[in-house]
Amino acid sequence: MELEGRGAGGVAGGPAAGPGRSPGESALLDGWLQRGVGRGASGGEAGACRPPVRQDQDSGPDYEALPAGATVTTHMVAGAVAGILEHCVMYPVDCVKTRMQSLQPDPAARYRNVLEALWRIIRTEGLWRPMRGLNVTATGAGPAHALYFACYEKLKKTLSDVIHPGGNSHIANGAAGCVATLLHDAAMNPVEVVKQRMQMYNSPYHRVTDCVRAVWQNEGAGAFYRSYTTQLTMNVPFQAIHFMTYEFLQEHFNPQRRYNPSSHVLSGACAGAVAAAATTPLDVCKTLLNTQESLALNSNLTGHITGMASAFRTVYQVGGVTAYFRGVQARVIYQIPSTAIAWSVYEFFKYLITKRQEEWRAGK
């Protein structure tokens, strides 16, 4: 380590710092200076004397060093921005996914692939039709992802210190992702209900307020959380796979855990694709619970599909085993850029905010 400000006459009564020192004396004095304490001949404290350390300008701050580098507020702000951008950019594909998961779609809403679906929706229903419901999604995504990332980062650090002190634990990553999902889904589940009902073909709702009012009056407040247990059943394994895959890939692509945009994009995309493909059957059931498709309801004697078991049974009755994988192409296509955007934006804002905080502290 190279230190600035060394004088030839020593520091505060300590040994001389001249060029003729032996290597042992140099190491001793360097350690003494870094601790900031020098003892004079009388044995008293000479005070702190820690010169600034010259750093390599190419190396950025270690923004993974928690909690000194990043606060809970940092994670919440970065997470909120990432969540809003993720959902807004990929919303048209999400609309297609919802329609392709329909068990008994209208003949006019049968699509072969994502691009054809987008083209037909725009051509027959208008340019802005794939964006219907975006406003409520953006409103809910901000606080949901703020809680999600803040909880994940805190628990990841706490559990890793217990399970694997000083290192990275995949068990801790998966467990932190599962707990964070509880908070995220509690905030997002009502939003999902409204959003997916507005995305369906021939949806009677043109405004968010109309949909909320109709659901509340016709089905009660519980309808907004009818799919919550199924959502958790899907998202808990999804997030466990997602976070473990992301952290595993980061160990290989970015072992120093610096801000590295390409590694964040690649790791996020791969993690999202793997998790999405594995949990598609649960997503189909969640969509059914949210939308309560009228044609599918005709095959269900209870009138309302009220739980995961009922949803699984209805999906099988209507479409067989293959129905569990309806929309898998759209789901994977949605998740690859979605998680890539979420992680790259989140890591960027975390890095940016942390860097500004460090600069502010250094300038105080």
pLDDT given for residue 240 in this prediction: 87
Task: Tell me how far apart the alpha carbons of residues 199 and 99 are, in angstroms, rounded to a whole number.
Answer: 7
pLDDT given for residue 169 in this prediction: 83
> In this structure, is residue 338 part of a structural domain?
no
The predicted-structure confidence for 120-169, as pLDDT tens digits, reads as follows 999 999 999 999 999 999 999 999 999 999 999 999 889 988 888 877 78
Report residue 211 as tokens.
């949909």
Question: 172 with 237, same domain?
Answer: no
pLDDT given for residue 290 in this prediction: 82
pLDDT band at 210 (very low <50, low <70, confident <90, very high): very high
Residues 6 or more apart from 359 whose CB is under 8 A from it?
A: none
Question: 174 with 115, same domain?
Answer: yes
Q: Give the domain extent around 357.
A: 67-225+343-363
Question: 80 with 199, same domain?
Answer: yes
Question: 211 with 77, same domain?
Answer: yes
pLDDT given for residue 364 in this prediction: 67
Residue 229 near residue 308, CB atoms below 8 Å? yes
Residue carrying the six token digits 């009902």: 197
Question: 88 with 205, same domain?
Answer: yes
pLDDT given for residue 285 in this prediction: 87
pLDDT given for residue 66 in this prediction: 39
What is the pLDDT averaged over residues 53-73? 51
What is the pLDDT averaged over residues 227-251? 87
The lowest-confidence range among 64-73, 94-103, 262-271 is: 64-73
pLDDT over 60 at 80, yes or no: yes
What is the pLDDT averaged over residues 1-20? 41
pLDDT over 90 at 354, yes or no: no
End-to-end CA distance of the chain: 24
- What mean pLDDT value characterizes the chain? 80
Question: b/e map of 321-346 (b: 16 or more CB within 10 Å)?
Answer: eebbbbbbbbbbbbbbbbbbbbbbbb
Question: 319 with 349, same domain?
Answer: no
> In this structure, is residue 266 part of a structural domain?
yes
Question: 348 with 299, same domain?
Answer: no
How many structural domains are present in the chain? 2
